[in-house]
Amino acid sequence: MTEAIDFTLTCPLPIADYPNVLLGHGSGGKLMHTLIEKLIVPTFANPLLETRHDGAVFQVDSSGPCIAFTTDTYVVHPLFFPGGDIGTLAVNGTVNDLAMCGARPLFLSAGFVLEEGLPMETLWRIVQSMQAAANAANVSIVTGDTKVVDKGKGDGIFINTAGVGLVETEGAIGPANVRPGDVILLNGDIGRHGMAIMAVREGLEFESAIESDCAPLAEPVRRLIEGGVEIHCLRDLTRGGLTSALVEIAENANLHLHIRESVVPVRGDVRAACEILGLDPLYVANEGRFIAIVPERDAEKALRLIGPDAVAIGSVDTAHAGIVTGQSSIGTNRVLTMLSGEQLPRIC
């Protein structure tokens, strides 16, 4: 059957430029964006996929509740890092994707790909971490699968989790609902997850280790919903960091998102580590940070509900369609675009 596909005629990616998959195709930047937009989304074409949100929202029958459904595979390297491990990440990452759909996370699946030779103790520790994270996020891991691949054909352990949640918001949440005049809120300091991983990989020593911000985000989202905030869009700031999330939203909403870079919180040790490695914290991955885009009238209340570290970092207007700009501390503006390739491979 597959023989009948004339690849040279039909593959919509520029094969001459990229005949093979590159690490950058998984980075959350332009390369990944192109791969997904040109090769995957048009093939699997359906309205749910085309919302380009962190998950799909649907009813399984016409009278039933709205359900959110999402998936992520975790290939983080190293498996253990300050503030968490691949197990905590695998639970919190999928819990957070459900929360970003305005859903209460309920049930997770767990699919393991183990490499032959993985120490059983490592698997045991990771499984314990998953359950601890599931308890903290009030979700149950209800179904699973275990595969083993030959030594040298994997890298210790990869974990896929998919999640199902109950959507509790009335209005739709997603890029299409963002409106001019909306305010962009951020729940805390950025860049810690990415720099925690990079510090371990690069052997950087600081006075105290940078810990990942890995955390479940369902509670602050629940407070926003129960507090009656009109939520237009939610997005967690994983691969590609704050900037990539903003660019994706701006492009899909066809609006201009503007942030003041000086009010985006970055801890001193994270900023120092970024400088050593030549990285921009606005692009570094987080695992416990999200933005909420809400009408201006709800912004103050929303900040209070998200928590003490929440800040308003910018706003939405129609000045430029599909563009993100940042104002630096000295008042100059720059256009913020996605990175083209790879900044931090295998960060989640």
Residues 71-130 contacting its own copies, CB under 8 A: 71-75, 80, 84-85, 88, 106-107, 109-121, 123-125, 127-130
Q: Measured from the CB atom, is 67 or 316 closer to its own copies? A: 67
Q: How far is the CB of 85 from its own copies (least distance, A)?
A: 6
**Considering only residues 7, 208, 228, 268, which one is a binding residue for its own copies as defined by CB under 8 A?**
7
H, E, C per residue of 300-334: HHHHHHHCCCCEEEEEEECCCCCEEEEECCCCCEE
**The length of the chain, given as a count of residues:** 348
Token code pair at residue 2: 């597959």
The nearest distance, CB 159 to its own copies, in angstroms, is 9
Q: b/e map of 237-260 (b: 16 or more CB within 10 Å)?
A: bbbbbbbbbbbbbbbbbebbbbbb
CA distance readout (Å), 264 to 87, 185, 197, 258, 267: 29, 10, 21, 12, 10
Between 154 and 314, whose beta carbon lies closer to its own copies? 154
**Subset of 17-36 contacting its own copies (CB under 8 A):** 18-27, 32, 35-36
Report 43-62 residues binding its own copies (CB under 8 A). 43-44, 46, 48-49, 55-56, 58, 60-61
**Residue 113 DSSP SS3:** strand
Residue 102 vs 154, nearer CB to its own copies: 154
CA 128/CA 73 separation, integer angstroms: 18
Tell whether residue 332 is a contact of its own copies (CB under 8 A). Answer: no
Which listed residue (134, 137, 246, 306) binds its own copies by CB under 8 A? Answer: 134
Considering only residues 202-231, where is the footprint of its own copies by CB under 8 A?
Answer: none
Q: Which residues 137-156 are close enough to bind its own copies by CB under 8 A?
A: 140-150, 152-155
Kindly state the number of chain residues that form the binding site for its own copies, as judged by CB under 8 A.
95
Ordered strands of the 140-149 beta sheet: 56-58, 67-74, 157-167, 103-115, 140-149
